[in-house]
Amino acid sequence: MRVGLLNATGYTGAEVIRFASGHPEFVLVGVTARSQAGQTLGAVLPWVRASPRPAYADLVLTPELNGSFDLIVSCLPHEVSAEKLAPFIASGVPAVDVSPDFRLQDLAEHRRWYGEHHAPQHRGAAEYGLTETHRAALRHTKLVANPGCHAITAELALVPALAAGLVAPNVIVDSKTGVSGAGRSAALEFGFSEVNENARPYKVAAHRHGPEIAQELTRAAGRRVEVTFVPTLVPMSRGILTTAYATLRDGVTPAAVAHAYHETYDGEQFVHVVDEPPQTKWTTGTNHCFVSCVVDEANRVLVAMAATDNLGKGAAGGALQNANVMLGLDESAGLGVPPSYP
């Protein structure tokens, strides 16, 4: 299958290349970049020569994608992504958008958080890419809105409890993230001297992933869920650790909580329920998520924890997983990469 990749040289685009280089069906035939257009992929990302597809290093980065494709993956920023994807969507080419352009179902909410939408005519065609709960719908779409990294981690932590009606519909989500979430061309505040030996909350109760989390938890619960979301930047390159808090309903036992999580995830390839608090290093470089719950019986609070790699399950890995489902391929194709440890 011929794959085109929009914005190949950012962190997420590079991860798509890394995963796709081991995919048995996907062949990258077009890669774009802005400032590096005209250079080869290997000149910008030398490590590609050490991938399972070293010939990808000879691909020339172009400003636009030209030719025919069986799949488009966009790692462009919001607004630009919808605009560049529009002609492919109109032509019926399957696409995965890693930007937030198609995530929010409510257009007014999108405008509030992201500004005007640049392809509103295609919003109704998009399916949200939380694979574990939207798998059936993903098989019948040609446009996937890939979740945000904080959002997918929080959703995987809380969906089983809310879907089973075990907790009240208001939650607190604390999410710690590595610096790569800010992108490859991040500002001064994300430099080594600013981040090292420091932990900094940012956009408290005002982060764009907040309404996305609320949207999907509301869908899972079948009623409106209020979310207080606090992200914190911590001094690591990659990874997300989410700790979420929800009030347990009367009569809910630890056994009921454990049953809900195992029933939801025991058949999943990329989500693992464990009996100890998860760690980000368990997920480094992969599409996996580890989930764990503790029931604070004295205070009737569920503490739900999840760890992912923000560039893996939270972006590029999730994009390939969704593409596999959408195209009717083996869901794990290209994603059998074990974690890098330590």
Active-site positions read 149
3-state helix, strand, coil in the chain (%, to 5): 35, 20, 40
Q: Counting beta carbons within 10 angstroms of the beta carbon of residue 174, is it exposed (0 to 12), middle (13 to 18) or buried (19 or more)?
A: middle
CB atoms under 10 Å from CB of 198, counted, come to 10
| 249-255 CB contacts, 8 Å cutoff, 24+ apart | 249/165, 249/166, 249/167, 249/168, 252/166, 252/167, 253/295, 254/295, 254/297
Helix (H, G, I), strand (E, B) or coil at 63: coil
Cα–Cα separations (whole angstroms), residue 285 to 25, 104, 117, 156, 308: 21, 27, 32, 18, 9
